[in-house]
Structure 1
Amino acid sequence: MAHIRTWYLKVLLCVGTFLLFILVWCHVTQLLGEPKGGLGLDLSPLFSGDLVQPSCPEGLVLLILVTSHPAHTEQRKIIRKTWGAQSEMAAYPWQAVFLIGRTLDLELDWHLHKEHVANSDLLMGNYLDTYRNLTLKVMHGLKWAVDRCHPRYILKTDDDCFVNTDRLPTFLARTNRIRQGLYVGSTFSREKRVVIRDPSSKWYVSKQNYDPDTYPPYASGIGYILSLDVAHTVLATAQTTPSIPMEDAYVGILADRAGVKLLSSTRFAKHNLKWSICNYRYLMVIHRVSPAEQELAQGNVQLANTDCTMNKEVKHW
């Protein structure tokens, strides 16, 4: 009889645990799920993550927000060793922070906590880390940057991109003449700005969320720069603008509604081609760079400093 009672209690415990997991999952999915149409984004619920927020030094010229999947440990590790490693003697201070969302993988969550203790550069938002929640990830990062860091400029990029931090902060501080109203990146042609209406596509956007069939001009999510005033404007406009899962298109929509003009620049490369060494005196962001290629790209930046001094440097966007 005691054996039966013990077995019965074990079954109840297992069933209870399973039901609790389902309830938690449903609750998290309901609160933190995909962006929905409506009155716009309420960003306040995104700030209840369980990691201590990174600190920001005063006087940052540039804050780099890097979207990263929780499981992309290797990508973050190599970025910290290459373009994310700032010299203590940098003339124009900058900082890189990785944006991640919540995971229901307990072991991965434990590793993320260890990683943050070691590096203090993870900004965890209170949303499930899925592709369709990328807008929440970026808007959370922008809100944190504006409220806590106050950098002159913000670069949003991805963890499969190379950022030329050897040149970009200096370019922004000394060469760039657009101190306010700056929204710059690699743009798309009108044909590539058609809204996807196929529900099976990961880029699907319903008519309810966005009625026009074409997005306004916007910069590719591989990398775009906002001056601090534009970041403020974008966040304010988001409060009254229904969100869509396409974060780069959403930022373009917000900028367009706020009257912020997009500046197109070839310094942001959507593809990782066989660039010459001297191209690294011009390019600021390169997409589709594997962890192994990050070290090669960083080496090319250093070579460009010595091998391309006879080349005239381009001083415009």
Structure 2
Amino acid sequence: MVEVNEERRQVQSNGGCRYHHSYVIFTILLIMSLCYYVVIYDNSETWKATVGLLFQKTLHNKTSNESLNAVSRGIASPTTVSRGIVSPTTVSRGISAEPWKPPDPYYVAYPYKYSFVINEPEKCQKENTFVVLIIPVSPGNVAARDAIRSTWGTEKVVADKTVSFLFLIGLPTSQDSEKLQEDLLQESEKHYDLLQSDFWDSYYNLTIKTVVMLEWLSAYCQNAHYAMKIDSDIFLNVKKLVNMLLPAPKQNYMTGLVARSAMVLRDPHSKWYLPKTVYSPFHYPPYALGLGYVFSLDLAGKLIEAAQLVKPVYIEDVYIGMCMNHLGIDLTDPPDGSLFNVFPVEYNRCRYSKLIATTTQSLTNQVNFWRDLQTPGPYC
């Protein structure tokens, strides 16, 4: 009888173990199934955006909190922190070594609270700026920045009006992002002309870059009269720009190469393709081409308000036109249709003395054309 009871207890124990093991296996399979469902079947724009925004918020919180203690820990000098620059150690901790890829080519993470990693908050006030030039450029494009610094970026005063300029960048997305971030901080300490915000710098984030520009202008440059967003591959005739602005309106003013009744491109192979699910009309509202457009500073705050309501598209100049249309403000055609040129203009002194902006085929051309135009002698 004792042996029978002992065998019975052993059978019950083994059965309990088998039940416990089965329960564990079932639980694991259930979790794996749920993970598969989330990743494969629920990999929506909202889910991806949430993941991206959580990462950006983590970076923002880390850089903000650590920058406050940078002086006490000896990472940054008081001057560095007062200029809004986060130390290399702090920033590098928040940057992934993996190249950034957009979650969806038609998704734009805005509205969202972006912050500045590198800032020049007193630039406009100290220089008593008349017009500020904001040049969006990729973090690694030092050559373009140096070309501008040595050419039209040197034209600080025209007709007794101060011209300021700043380069606008996002976070680097390459494999060597930590080293590049350290180089950017050193470049900022040398030139004091960089603005960097905590969004990933990429073509698909140009709309974010542009609205961040507006946020900076609204916060730090309201004493200026005008701003110009201008691409880094552009030849700019600063004298001609200032002369155009002297009699220009001070409110609700935006001009450049204005496109009217431009058709929405539906070819999926086009760089500027937009599907109907993103933007359904056949034509865009009037907009100024992104090579370079000028606007009065009152528009910065107005466009930011519109951007909270207008669904963003990744084509940044089109989006600004959509916001202007939402505000009911018409764009102003330039006084001369040849002032802004989207295709490179063949160089001669007479022609270049009369235009404001044109794309160029190389940085070498951009530098050489500007230098030749500065030499003494008649233009025409």
| Structure 1 Cα separation of the partners of residues 205 and 105 of structure 2 | 7
> Deviation digits for residues 102-121 of structure 1, max 9, x if unmatched?
11422222211111111111
- Displacement of 1:185 in angstroms is 0.8
1:126–1:208 CA distance, 2 compared to 1 (3 A): farther
> Deviation digits for residues 276-317 of structure 1, max 9, x if unmatched?
3122332111113522112222124324x7403xx7xxxxxx
Which residue of 1 is the match for residue 151 of structure 2? Answer: 82
| Structure 2 Cα separation of the partners of residues 269 and 210 of structure 1 | 27
- Between 274-283 and 200-209, the greater mean CA deviation after superposition: 200-209
1:3-18 alignment, distance < 5 Å? none
The yes-or-no answer on 1:159 pairing with 2:232 is yes
Which residue of 2 is the match for residue 62 of structure 1? Answer: 131
| Structure 2 Cα separation of the partners of residues 31 and 199 of structure 1 | 30
| Structure 1 Cα separation of the partners of residues 209 and 105 of structure 2 | 11
AA aligned to 1:282 is: K
| Structure 1 Cα separation of the partners of residues 213 and 114 of structure 2 | 10
- Displacement of 1:201 in angstroms is 4.3
AA aligned to 2:216 is: W
The 8 Å contact of residues 270 and 288 in structure 1, kept in 2 or not, is answered as no
The 8 Å contact of residues 57 and 149 in structure 1, kept in 2 or not, is answered as yes
1:307–1:264 CA distance, 2 compared to 1 (3 A): same
Which residue of 1 is the match for residue 241 of structure 2? Answer: 168
Which residue of 2 is the match for residue 301 of structure 1? Answer: 373
The yes-or-no answer on 1:212 pairing with 2:281 is yes
The 8 Å contact of residues 82 and 298 in structure 1, kept in 2 or not, is answered as yes
Which residue of 2 is the match for residue 112 of structure 1? Answer: 184
| Structure 2 Cα separation of the partners of residues 302 and 172 of structure 1 | 21
Which residue of 1 is the match for residue 315 of structure 2? Answer: 246
2:120 pairs with one of 35, 39, 53: 53
Partner SS, residue 264 of structure 1: coil
TM-score (structure 2 length as normaliser): 0.66
List runs of 5+ in structure 2 lacking aligned partners. Answer: 1-49, 57-101
- Displacement of 1:91 in angstroms is 1.4
Partner SS, residue 64 of structure 1: strand
The yes-or-no answer on 1:183 pairing with 2:250 is no
List runs of 5+ in structure 1 lacking aligned partners. Answer: 1-25, 312-317
Which residue of 1 is the match for residue 64 of structure 2? Answer: none
Partner SS, residue 299 of structure 1: helix
- Displacement of 1:135 in angstroms is 0.4
| Structure 2 Cα separation of the partners of residues 89 and 223 of structure 1 | 19
AA aligned to 2:365 is: E
Which residue of 2 is the match for residue 255 of structure 1? Answer: 324
The yes-or-no answer on 1:101 pairing with 2:170 is yes
| Structure 2 Cα separation of the partners of residues 28 and 62 of structure 1 | 35
| Structure 2 Cα separation of the partners of residues 275 and 263 of structure 1 | 27
Partner SS, residue 271 of structure 1: coil
| Structure 2 Cα separation of the partners of residues 129 and 74 of structure 1 | 17
The 8 Å contact of residues 103 and 109 in structure 1, kept in 2 or not, is answered as yes
- Displacement of 1:88 in angstroms is 6.5
The 8 Å contact of residues 345 and 360 in structure 2, kept in 1 or not, is answered as no
When Rg is computed on C-alpha atoms for both structures, the one with the higher figure is: 2
TM-score (structure 1 length as normaliser): 0.78
Which residue of 2 is the match for residue 122 of structure 1? Answer: 194
- Displacement of 1:132 in angstroms is 0.5
Which residue of 2 is the match for residue 3 of structure 1? Answer: none
Q: Which has the higher contact order (CA 8 A, sep 6+)?
A: 1
What value does the CA root-mean-square deviation take over the aligned residues?
A: 2.7
> Deviation digits for residues 106-143 of structure 1, max 9, x if unmatched?
22222111111111111111111110100000110111
The 8 Å contact of residues 37 and 242 in structure 1, kept in 2 or not, is answered as no
Identity of counterpart residues, as a percentage? 28
2:263 pairs with one of 190, 194, 203: 194
- Displacement of 1:164 in angstroms is 1.3
Which residue of 1 is the match for residue 295 of structure 2? Answer: 226
| Structure 1 Cα separation of the partners of residues 358 and 365 of structure 2 | 11
Which residue of 1 is the match for residue 339 of structure 2? Answer: 267
